[in-house]
Chains A and B, each alone.
Chain A
């Protein structure tokens, strides 16, 4: 028998249930094999340690504890006792349950009366307004388009292709930043007019449409066409620098300072 097979018999040996012939062959093997005999010593020592572990007795009042526990009602009945029902834990539970019931009953009461609105009233309203409302006149009908040929410069091309319209903060920043180096920050009349519009708090939020010489500003009440001639734009840097790189606060001031050409039309957004 090899060592592995011998070691499988250790348990039987420790329990003294080993068959006599197996025991003989095991003892013969152990005489020749010190490793296995050391293993067996350790194995039997382990078993002996286990069997000699002291019996830990139950605590002296064990029977009393068991009896007390038996007299306790089961958990589900403990929750029905008046002592628990009046405890703070119970009141918290009641509050939670009541709020749940409240919320769900409100939701139920609202939800059962809810019917998704039929499309009928909407079409009626549309028909009604269609009868009253007439399309506004073309806002650009009376506008004189003065598009100079020389505006077909790269910059003007960019304007027509898609012009970045700054917001009022950007305009203010650009104007104030131009003070240290003393340069005029606007390259075209369009840019300048838009900056002037953004500086006016009343026109700041108007819809702006860049024009080659200026811009259209659409407000709920009016449509402004604001243009600046090339001659006016040529004079503009001087005035701007003279004003200490500050833009005028209103479009009226701007008109007086820079000679803007302003036309005011009825807005297509206003009620007829």
Chain B
């Protein structure tokens, strides 16, 4: 049995389900901790951080920075924006870890914050017309004359990755063409490798919804890649 009551108005969780006896979680909680060993370590780090241990926050950052940055990069498709958003995510984490109630996994909570930040930034950038298509072959006019766009050399070299850079860039472009819901679902599932249940927790929707979103997104992406001739 659960009671619903309002919590912090400044987070996006206005109402949470609170168990009647939060202290006594019983065997289920123990089983959960055994089942998910990452949870326990995070909880210890969080407790230590709340007591004032700054190094535990550093450890949390180091633990999650690659996952968060990768998620941001795949969502936004832009290295500098991804870095900015990832930093914002950890600043938000730093300021609001005290509101983390342990209802879900800490990683789920981190990803939820990341996804929300990315969605906000996408909305902001779309409003600013940031994603206006710029062809990489067509020269564009500048004050000094016409120039051909020069792509930034970033990311791992072709030797490091199994895929050619061209294919990677095409996939990233095609992901960026999906709408936000589909993009979020497919990035969380196929790039971050999370389970349907975790994604449902992160997005706050039912598992069936997640499943259908991922299926639609994959079909759409397949269509796009077929059209590009990358399959």
Contact = CB atoms under 8 A, between A and B. Distances in A.
A56 B72 CA distance: 10
A70 interface: yes
B61 A66 contact: yes
Interface residues of A, number: 28
B77 to A, nearest CB: 11
Interface string B55-86: 00010011001101110011000010001001
Contacts of A142: none
Nearest to A68: B87
Interface string B198-231: 0000000000000100110011011001100011
Residue of A8, A10, A14, A67 contacting most chain B CB atoms (<10 Å): A67
B30 interface: no
Interface stretch (A25-33, A57-65, A87-95): A57-65
Interface stretch (B38-46, B117-125, B154-162): B154-162
A42 interface: yes
Contacts of A62: 61, 65, 69, 83, 86-87
Contacts of B186: 50
Contact of B68 (A45, A47, A58, A69): A58
Contacts of B160: 54
Contacts of A50: 171, 186, 190-191, 221
Contacts, number: 94
B40 to A, nearest CB: 23
A54 B168 contact: yes
B91 A54 contact: no
B106 interface: no
A69 B214 contact: no
B193 interface: yes
B90 interface: yes
Residue of B62, B156, B162, B190 contacting most chain A CB atoms (<10 Å): B190
Contacts of B156: 54, 56
Interface string A1-17: 00000011011001000
Given A42-B222, A57-B66, A66 B87 contact: yes
A5 to B, nearest CB: 13
B18 to A, nearest CB: 30
Nearest to A51: B190
Nearest to B192: A55
Contact-residue bracket for chain B: 35 or more
A267 to B, nearest CB: 72
A70 B95 CA distance: 9
Contacts of B62: 63
A11 B214 contact: yes
Given A42-B226, A63-B65, A52 B163 contact: yes
B94 interface: yes
A46 B191 contact: no
A49 B86 CA distance: 25
A240 interface: no
Given A62-B86, A65-B83, A66-B61, A56 B221 contact: no
Interface string A35-47: 0000000110111
A69 B87 contact: yes
B16 interface: no
Given A58-B86, A66-B61, A66-B91, A52 B162 contact: yes
A53 B156 CA distance: 11
A56 B87 contact: no
B87 A47 contact: no
A88 to B, nearest CB: 26
Residue of B155, B161, B215 contacting most chain A CB atoms (<10 Å): B215
Contacts of B65: 58, 62-63
Interface in B141-170: 155-156, 160-163, 167-168
A15 to B, nearest CB: 8
B163 A54 contact: yes
A49 B68 CA distance: 20
Nearest to A53: B191
Interface of B: 58, 61-62, 65-66, 68-70, 73-74, 79, 83, 86-87, 90-91, 94, 155-156, 160-163, 167-168, 171, 186, 190-191, 193, 211, 214-215, 218-219, 221-222, 225-226, 230-231
